[in-house]
Amino acid sequence: MTRVLYLANLSGMSGGTKRAYEICKRIKAYGVEYVPITILTEHPKRSALNERFVIVRDIKFGHFHVPILSKAVTEVMRIAVKEGVEAIISAHELPTYIFTAYLGSKILRVPWSTVLQLPPKFLRIMFGKIVYPNLFKSTIVMSVSYSIAQELYLLSEELKKHIYVFKIPLGIDPIIGTVSPAKEGFDAIFFARLTKEKGLFDIPYIWRKVVKKIPDAKLAVAGSGNPRDIYVFKVLVKNLVLTKNITYLGYLPKEQLYSILKASKALIYPSYLDSFSLVVLEALAAGVPVIAYSIPAIKYAYYATRAVQKVMVGNVDEMAEKAIELLQSDEVRKELSKDAVEFTSRYTWDKATHEEAEIVKRIVEDRIKSL
């Protein structure tokens, strides 16, 4: 059994957090045992896996809060020695996680790696452009999306030898296939982390154009997020006279969310930021066609299916037109629904976990051979 220190937040609401939790829960069955640790500045809600916490003070730079790295490394190393781990892996894009994994590996003389579920923080500033390529050349970096790999390749062509892109990065929650559609559905749904980056503020403008053509069209918005962003969204809905057409549902338990999803005719997804969208994958698994901005994470081969209709990034007019066409054609929706379910059939958490376990064992074995 390969024992690995796993730096990840397992109790958040994002797709990346859900992936880390699902992988960590299953990976022991594939010959790898993860010892999960969360590095934060305050105690979060503990997940069912009872991960350890390393609580550190942070330094404030305006709106940014950066945990003190030396404290994180010291605490993580203490746990690593006690647990007798053979490697350290970061499953978060925050510098605190990545640098702690890297520095810890140097101190303990064990291999390290990182699972990138978004481009690393600070990648686009000079510090990141210089530091990250040098760090990543010392290991095999695991990426959930070609879009992340492509961004890193722009920094250094040498990284093509050091980045592994998962073939099956995510899995489908089996509950999606078992829940029944809600008795009263919506014409469309948007669910995600409710932020500007996920297209929250585009939603009212898109739906206003849909309502001009289909006056009774109803849209559900579900999820949690920054209270300020949600307030601005609600003001937009009111100012655009859409309170009868857009219903804010807030955070929903997954069974209830999937039930409403399965009763919807389409997913409207104007996200500007993603690596591999679990939201899109879950909608497709529910047989719901998707209309999304053609950001790199969406337009790459992962979503090469007719069930994901792609429009120019930021073009609310085109997204509204696609939505109207979809809502007005039962026959087209039926065809796309069949394609959607077929497309997602190969995405399971067991396959995703097995693939990650094999790469982790390879990283550990290659380091042993080089000693």
Model pLDDT for residues 35-50, shown as the tens digit of each residue:
998 876 555 566 666 6
Residue 23 one-letter amino acid = I
pLDDT band at 120 (very low <50, low <70, confident <90, very high): confident
What count of other Cβ atoms lies within 10 Å of the Cβ of residue 187?
20
Mean pLDDT of 345-350: 93
CB 273 within 8 A of CB 198: yes
Q: What percent of the chain has pLDDT over 90?
A: 65
Q: How confident is the model at residue 55 (pLDDT cuts 50, 70, 90)?
A: low
Fold category of 174-344 in CATH: Rossmann fold (3.40.50)
Contact between residue 311 and residue 293 where contact means Cβ atoms under 8 Å apart:
yes
Give which of 282, 256, 285 is closest to 269, Cα–Cα. Answer: 282
Residue type for position 292: A
**Interstrand relation of 58-61 and 64-67 (parallel, antiparallel or unpaired):** antiparallel
How many other CB atoms are there within 10 angstroms of residue 239's CB atom?
Answer: 10
Q: Indicate the range of 64-68, 122-126, 222-226 predicted with least confidence.
A: 64-68
Both structure tokens of 288: 């719901």
CB 206 within 8 A of CB 235: no
| Beta-carbon-side half-sphere exposure of residue 156 (alpha carbons within 13 Å) | 16
- Longest CA–CA separation in the chain, Å: 69
**pLDDT at residue 258 above 90?**
yes
Return the pLDDT at 369.
55
Check if the beta carbon of residue 22 is closer than 8 Å to that of residue 349: yes
Q: Which amino acid is at 200?
A: L
Note the pLDDT of residue 129.
86
In this structure, the number of other CB atoms found within 10 A of the CB of residue 292 comes to 27
Q: Which of 100-114, 126-140, 293-307 has the lowest mean pLDDT?
A: 293-307
Integer Cα distance of 187 and 177 in angstroms: 20
Split at pLDDT 50, 70, 90, the class of 128 is confident
- pLDDT at position 341: 92
Q: Judge whether 2-170+349-370 and 174-344 match in fold.
A: yes
Question: Which alpha helices (DSSP H) does 203-277 contain, by range?
Answer: 203-213, 227-239, 254-262
Q: How confident is the model at residue 13 (pLDDT cuts 50, 70, 90)?
A: low
66: three-class secondary structure by DSSP: strand
Q: Which two tokens stand for residue 15?
A: 């797709």
pTM confidence score: 0.86
Q: What pLDDT score was predicted for residue 371?
A: 44
191-202 core/surface letters (b: 16 or more CB in 10 A; e: else)? bbbbbeebbbeb
Rounded to an integer, the average pLDDT of 57-76 is 64
Residue 310 parent element (H or E): strand 308-311
| CA-CA-CA-CA torsion sign (14, 351, 306, 183) | negative
- CATH 3.40.50.2000 corresponds to the domain 2-170+349-370: yes
- Check pLDDT > 70 for residue 352: yes
pLDDT at 21 over 50: yes
150-190 pLDDT, tens per residue? 889 988 899 999 999 999 999 998 899 899 999 888 999 99
pLDDT at 44: 59
Q: What are phi and psi of 296, to 5 degrees?
A: -50, -40
Quick one: DSSP state of residue 247?
E
pLDDT interval class at 51 (50, 70, 90): low
pLDDT greater at residue 70 or residue 244? 244
Model pLDDT, residue 220: 97
Question: Which is more confidently placed, 329 or 368?
Answer: 329
Cα separation, 164 vs 113, in Å, equals: 11
User: What whole-number distance in Å separates Cα of residue 130 and Cα of residue 230?
Assistant: 36
> What's the pLDDT at 42?
58
Taking 70 as the threshold, does the pLDDT of residue 109 lie above it? yes
Domain extents for the chain? Answer: 2-170+349-370, 174-344
To which H or E segment does residue 252 belong?
Answer: none
Which residues make beta-bridge pairs with 164? 142
pLDDT tens string 199-245:
999 999 999 999 999 999 999 999 998 899 999 999 999 999 999 99
Cβ atoms < 10 Å from Cβ of 296? 15
Counting beta carbons within 10 angstroms of the beta carbon of residue 159, is it exposed (0 to 12), middle (13 to 18) or buried (19 or more)? Answer: middle
Closest CA to 199 of 244, 172, 236, 245: 236
* 165 CB-near residues (< 8 Å, 6+ apart): 143, 144, 145, 146, 149
Q: What is the mean pLDDT of the chain?
A: 88
